[in-house]
Structure 1
Amino acid sequence: MRKGDVVCLHGTNTPMFLHVFCGVTSNGASLTIANSQLTPGELLHQIQESNSRFIVTTPDCVLNAKTVVKQCHQVKNVIVLGDVEGCVPFSTIINDSNCSLPNVNIKPTNDVALLPYSSGTTGLPKGVMLTHHNLVAQLSQLRHHLYLPFTSGYDVSIAPLPMVHIAGLVIGLLNPVAQGATVVTLPRFEPETYLKAIQDYKGTFSLVAPPVVNFFASHPSVDNYDLSSFHTPYSGAAPLRYGMSETSPATHTSPLDGWKFGSIGKPLPNTESKVVDIGTGKSLGINEHGELWVRGPQVMKGYLNNHKATEEAINSDGWIKTGDIGYYDEDGHYYIIDRLKEIVKYKGYQVAPAYLESVLLAHPDVADSAVIGIPDDVTGALPRAFIVRKRDISEDKILQYVKDRVAPYKQLRGGVEFVDEIPKLPSGKILRRKLLEMYSSRNKA
């Protein structure tokens, strides 16, 4: 591995993820993280787009990794965090006494350390180039005494969120480790295992997906465990906290000394935030609704091999346009009320409607399609498809067709509805709000 190489980390949580991250970035290479639920086709796209030379994975994901290697000649071997026949064990690499860390000249503000993939409104995943400077700045912001400080030797973070997700890696793993806290890694969230880990390891902190907040409030098992040590459940990808892959990922959070219901909190240290008029870009005042823009040292270098998308996202003054509609109050607390972007957020995962629409349009019996997110109290939103048929086909067959082609979190859990036409503007833009209104009007309690 040399400076400039890209390594793909794909799998379920293991403590060895920290070794992989540190080893890759210390050598001047970049780490791209790929969700364990990706299909071989989706993983192949990310490997090729990022020009990854190595895949590091876990035993449960080896099959997908091997499938990709057969179709992608730039990757020679699958490195496994475990022991699987036909793969290179990661242990043989870290135990190699002949290996020595090279003296690499890293340029912090220019060299890419982390390359997560973020879905845009086009539905095509884009590589987010986060530099060493971006990540160090983010970790410094989070450890500020008003926001997310840890006490070395005391705090214990319980980590069930996928570390192949920007939040799980940076906030769930790197942030506590950088402050000397202990991290207890769980392969995935399972209620009893998670609660037992908090009890047995005296967990004090945990980064959790929004549905887990509801779990704490309502699940009967919670009362069966001693959770007295647990003082900071921390959540994002919803109004509880705000961020995006393009910002390493956090921009706003509620300070420890005060929060407001429904607010995403205040900007992190060294982070500027404003609300602008959607049409003119003019800065707006207190309680005026507009698009949220953010500027700070955690903002990405840009999108990989996509200068046009970078220019559209970040203006010449360094402000990144979040695509979210919101406002701020007289105390400087920010609120999100809508999205310009059409991303559906299911359990914190980003699902691009345009991507699912392209999958549906490849079906020979589908003439046209549109996908929206329908509100769900537990998961945030559920992708639902509206389909114009060429020929008769059942909802079950459509659901199975999509299930076979996309990761589990991208499936049409909100169902399928057959319509005569998809409402659109003359330009061809789908009127998703009209579809949501149509759905809501028929499903009022």
Structure 2
Amino acid sequence: MNDSGITIDNNILKGKVVPFTPFEYTSLGEVILARLKKNPELVGQIDGTTGEEYTYDQMRDRSVRCALWMRKQGLLPGDVVAICSHNQLDLALPCFATLYLGAIFNPLDVGMSKSDFCHMLKITTPKMAFVNEEVATRFAEAAKETEIDMKVVVLGRVPGFLEFEQIITEQTVEEVQNYRCTPIKSSDETAIIMCTSGTSGSSKGVALSHAAILKQYRPSVGALINDRALVFSPLAWITGIIFMVMTVIGNATRLLPPPFEEYTACALIEKLKLKSAFLGPSLLARLVKSDALKKYDLSSLKKITSGGSILSANTRESLNKMVPHASITVGYGMTEVGGLISVQTDNSKPGSCGSICDNYQLKVVDPDTDRVLGVHQLGELWFKSATMMNHYYNDPQATANAIDEEGWLHSGDLGYYDEDGEIFIVDRLKELIKYRCYHVSPADIENVLLSHPGVKEVAVVGVPHPVDDEHPIAFVVRTPAEITDKQVTEEELIDLVATQMADIKRLRGGVRFVDHLPKTPSNKVLRREIRKMAIAVRTT
């Protein structure tokens, strides 16, 4: 055992065992409502663009009114509510209202295409949805296409749609004052369904319980949220959920910044004298590539936390020089385990993801033999935690593939740990491309490209990019000219993906035509070789 309480027992790396913070309620909704009632005058949210504020009392009043309306529409415990919006003052309120009723909310990314919405709606079959003005029509079209009958409420105003501001005026003061949460049987019941992407290309719903979220509250999280941290994570990311919930549990104030832009971010830090910021590696890369860090007084900033992908050594070195008074901490996590798995300390080794968090276990397994490996041996990382997902929602086969009979979650990440218990991520067994902290499925893009008659075979991988993490690049084997009237061009394929898919899936790395794709004897594409080809393209 080292000084942090981390042990290695039979080749299993174990974090320090720490009792979880006890809560007086079973339901996450009950905890949130109790906190809002207890601190009515406290400012709960600040709009970073307009400066408008909501107190805890306003948040309680508006979220309870929303819950009363939802209940009158027949929403029952266990029903699903889809929620899709950029960060705004009202966004948290239907989330809280859903939890008050013992129902489940499913946050969706505003960048999803109609086909993305259709896929998730078929999985979760929500009874109602709360969306922003931008996605309302696209979402309604998806609901119609999937033949799901639901009420769609707009957080704003769009002709022909129910408006959030209107539905929360239908309740009496007495109803609001006397409101009580719907009890749930167990804190192990599902509270939230998070979207993720898998190696097969199909998004899955990660079902997280009330307990999994409540157990995320610990002193390190409390310290960060009490600094009124600058966090750009949307609700569709696990960090967005954690900060939304933990701010209320920790009796703190949450800042809702506008969409990330280098100068805007630095201006907010200077104006509000912020001490902490949570920024993905691609956002940090954009900051150091700009001159924004030199134009503003960032002396208040003491801590920068990053996660979601690898923070390059060059970006980190530049940050250290440009913001020398701020410590830089990198963490590693997964939605399936409820969030953060490991985090760096001031003494962490270069390239590591830090040490395993309290109450987590890790073992490294040979992906070919399932043999448990030891220190400095490279294999797939398997995890156990008390905050792990219940399952993939309505997908027992995917759940069985991810979690074995002993309860170990197979991460799909390739890595190792050293004699001090520090974790190093080397590669991904899973094929996901990381674009600006988003997971992009190569299979999704490949399916669209294969719909073109001029494409015989295709493999899509990520090519490293200094700012955006990775850009999707397609290696295409053309259909023989004698079969088609003319050979497909790079521009045609780039435009095909751009018109049919979400912006994050565009072929920003371009298209390269090849005579054949490298394959295994069993005719599977060797993606490791494709990645080498992509890197070679980048360096030429």
Same fold (TM over 0.5): yes
Structure 1 residue corresponding to 2:405, chosen from 305, 308, 316: 316
In structure 1, the residue matched to 2:157 is 83
Change (3 A) 1:436 1:76: closer
In structure 2, the residue matched to 1:190 is 261
Equivalent residue letter for 2:503: P
In structure 1, the residue matched to 2:246 is 175
Structure 2 residue corresponding to 1:226, chosen from 294, 297, 300: 297
CA–CA separation in structure 1 for the residues paired with 2:438 and 2:251: 29
In structure 2, the residue matched to 1:413 is 508
What's the CA shift string for 1:358-383, capped at 9, x where partnerless? 11111222111111111122121111
CA–CA separation in structure 1 for the residues paired with 2:434 and 2:111: 16
CA–CA separation in structure 1 for the residues paired with 2:336 and 2:408: 12
What's the CA shift string for 1:82-116, capped at 9, x where partnerless? 22222222123334324554542313444211111
What SS is found at the alignment partner of 1:287?
A: coil
In structure 1, the residue matched to 2:223 is 150
In structure 1, the residue matched to 2:207 is 129
The CA deviation at 1:120 is 0.7
CA–CA separation in structure 1 for the residues paired with 2:258 and 2:80: 24
Is structure 2 residue 290 aligned with structure 1 residue 237? Answer: no
Deviates more, 1:209-218 or 1:376-385: 209-218
Correspondence list, 1:363-442, <5 A: 363-390=452-479, 391=484, 392-442=487-537
What SS is found at the alignment partner of 2:255?
A: strand
Structure 1 residue corresponding to 2:447, chosen from 358, 374, 378: 358
CA–CA separation in structure 2 for the residues paired with 1:26 and 1:389: 55
Q: Answer yes or no: is the 8 Å Cα contact 1:367–1:388 preserved in 2.
A: yes
Q: Answer yes or no: is the 8 Å Cα contact 1:39–1:406 preserved in 2.
A: yes
Matched residues, number: 437
In structure 2, the residue matched to 1:114 is 192
The CA deviation at 1:443 is 4.5
Structure 2 residue corresponding to 1:251, chosen from 327, 341, 344: 341
Structure 2 residue corresponding to 1:302, chosen from 382, 386, 391: 391
Change (3 A) 1:120 1:202: same
Correspondence list, 1:40-55, <5 A: 40-55=114-129
CA–CA separation in structure 2 for the residues paired with 1:119 and 1:169: 18
Q: Answer yes or no: is the 8 Å Cα contact 1:150–1:181 preserved in 2.
A: no
Q: Answer yes or no: is the 8 Å Cα contact 2:473–2:534 preserved in 1.
A: no
What's the CA shift string for 1:392-411, capped at 9, x where partnerless? 01111100100111111111
Structure 2 residue corresponding to 1:3, chosen from 53, 71, 77: 77
In structure 2, the residue matched to 1:270 is 359
Equivalent residue letter for 1:414: G
Change (3 A) 1:414 1:400: same
Return 5+ residue gaps in structure 1 as ranges.
Answer: none
Deviates more, 1:435-444 or 1:368-377: 435-444
Q: Answer yes or no: is the 8 Å Cα contact 2:477–2:516 preserved in 1.
A: yes
What SS is found at the alignment partner of 1:423?
A: coil
Return 5+ residue gaps in structure 2 as ranges.
Answer: 1-74, 311-329
What's the CA shift string for 1:173-222, capped at 9, x where partnerless? 32333322221112411222222222222222222121122234342122
Deviates more, 1:356-365 or 1:206-215: 206-215
CA–CA separation in structure 2 for the residues paired with 1:94 and 1:245: 32
Computing the radius of gyration from Cα coordinates, the structure with the larger value is: 2
The CA deviation at 1:73 is 3.7
Correspondence list, 1:209-220, <5 A: 209-220=280-291
Q: Answer yes or no: is the 8 Å Cα contact 1:108–1:131 preserved in 2.
A: no
What SS is found at the alignment partner of 1:434?
A: helix
Deviates more, 1:383-392 or 1:103-112: 103-112
Change (3 A) 1:206 1:151: closer
CA–CA separation in structure 1 for the residues paired with 2:125 and 2:393: 11
Equivalent residue letter for 1:271: Y
CA–CA separation in structure 2 for the residues paired with 1:102 and 1:421: 64
Q: Answer yes or no: is the 8 Å Cα contact 1:204–1:232 preserved in 2.
A: yes
What TM-score does the superposition give when structure 2 sets the normalisation length?
Answer: 0.77
Q: Answer yes or no: is the 8 Å Cα contact 2:462–2:534 preserved in 1.
A: no
CA–CA separation in structure 2 for the residues paired with 1:443 and 1:41: 31
Deviates more, 1:122-131 or 1:209-218: 209-218
Q: Percent identity?
A: 32
CA–CA separation in structure 2 for the residues paired with 1:215 and 1:415: 21
The two structures, once aligned, show a CA RMSD in angstroms of: 2.0
Deviates more, 1:313-322 or 1:15-24: 15-24
CA–CA separation in structure 1 for the residues paired with 2:517 and 2:97: 50
Equivalent residue letter for 2:515: D
The CA deviation at 1:422 is 2.0
CA–CA separation in structure 1 for the residues paired with 2:539 and 2:159: 55
Deviates more, 1:70-79 or 1:322-331: 70-79
Q: Answer yes or no: is the 8 Å Cα contact 1:157–1:176 preserved in 2.
A: no
In structure 1, the residue matched to 2:315 is none
